[in-house]
Amino acid sequence: MREDQALLAFAALSQEHRLRIIRLLVEAGPEGMAAGALGEKLGAGSSKMSFHLSHLEQAGLVRSHRDGRLIIYAVEVATLSGLIAFLLKDCCGGRPEICAPAFAEARAEGPIKCSGPEAPKHPRLISADRLPGESVAEEA
Partner DNA sequence: TCAACATTTCAATACTAATGGAGATGTTGA
Partner DNA sequence: TCAACATCTCCATTAGTATTGAAATGTTGA
Contact residues for DNA, defined by CB under 7 A: 11, 15, 17-18, 34-37, 39, 44-55, 64, 66, 68-71
CB distance 25 to 74 below 8 Å:
yes
How far, in Å, CA of 51 to CA of 103, rounded? 34
From a copy of itself, DNA, none, interface partner of 65 (C-beta below 5 to 8 A by class): none
Contact string (CB under 8 A) for a copy of itself, positions 118-137, x = contact: -xx--xxxx----xxxx---
Q: Where are the beta strands (DSSP E) in 30-114?
A: 33-34, 62-67, 70-75
| Residue type, position 124, single letter | R
- Alpha helices (runs of H) in 29-76, residue ranges in sequence order: 35-42, 46-58
The binding site for a copy of itself (CB under 8 A) comprises: 1-3, 5-8, 10-11, 13-16, 19, 22-23, 26-27, 29, 77-103, 105-106, 109-117, 119-120, 123-126, 131-134, 138-140
